[in-house]
Chain A
Amino acid sequence: AQTVTQSQPEMSVQEAETVTLSCTYDTSESDYYLFWYKQPPSRQMILVIRQEAYKQQNATENRFSVNFQKAAKSFSLKISDSQLGDAAMYFCAYRSADTGTASKLTFGTGTRLQVTL
């Protein structure tokens, strides 16, 4: 079974600065997908960014980018030019690429990000 570990329960960043959230995972599969979801106080689960394991290029979405290290099984999220609206809980998630598994997600325990002025 796959596991996802987020070792930072809480992080803090000043507005306009850069912060990196860590995520490691354990799997015996070679093909899979990784996601970062954001959960603001409204409780919505919002997809931030995704990475296909077979792609060496790190995914980027505006101010959000990942550092995907497949051999190290590491998938960190970098938020540049942090904004007050980035304050939320961030979850790392894993999904097998096996189409027979109905795309089940395995989540980490989350990192709460605070953004200060």
Chain B
Amino acid sequence: NAGVTQTPKFQVLKTGQSMTLQCAQDMNHNSMYWYRQDPGMGLRLIYYSASEGTTDKGEVPNGYNVSRLNKREFSLRLESAAPSQTSVYFCASSHGQLSNQPQHFGDGTRLSIL
């Protein structure tokens, strides 16, 4: 009963380093999402993929890239990490077109950039 799996759970980077956060879901969902969570600001959408083969920018896309590798996997890449990207990152998935269905979240990745 895995649901949405994110790796790694914790990571510390130096400014300028690159990093890819991995996300996989086993619920046959069409849509996948990346959010960041900062204190006092709730969750904000970075990028999303409505279906396999498509990706779109969310509210805060600058400094990030994504890849929808296949229906199961959706990765988030930081090409040149900056301290402002220190955050907790959540991946989520949903059926997509069946919008009365909720999003399912992974357990998050705590990323610190020094």
Q: Which residues on A are within 8 Å of B, measured CB to CB? A: 4, 9, 33, 35, 42-45, 47, 50, 52, 91, 95-99, 101-110
Assess A103 versus B31: contact at CB under 8 Å? Given A33-B100, A52-B100, A95-B99: yes
CB distance from B71 to the nearest CB of A (A): 14
Contact B43 A107 (CB under 8 A): yes
19 sampled A-B residue pairs with Cβ under 8 A: A4-B42, A43-B88, A44-B107, A45-B43, A45-B92, A45-B105, A50-B100, A50-B102, A91-B42, A97-B100, A99-B96, A102-B31, A102-B51, A102-B96, A103-B31, A103-B96, A104-B33, A104-B48, A109-B42
Contact of A104 among B42, B51, B58, B97 (CB under 8 A): B58
Tell me the nearest residue of chain A to B43, going by C-beta: A107
> In the complex, which residue of chain B has the Cβ closest to the Cβ of A49?
B102
Question: Chain B residues with Cβ under 8 A from A105's Cβ?
Answer: 33, 43, 45, 92, 103
Q: Does B44 sit within 8 A of A, measured CB to CB?
A: yes
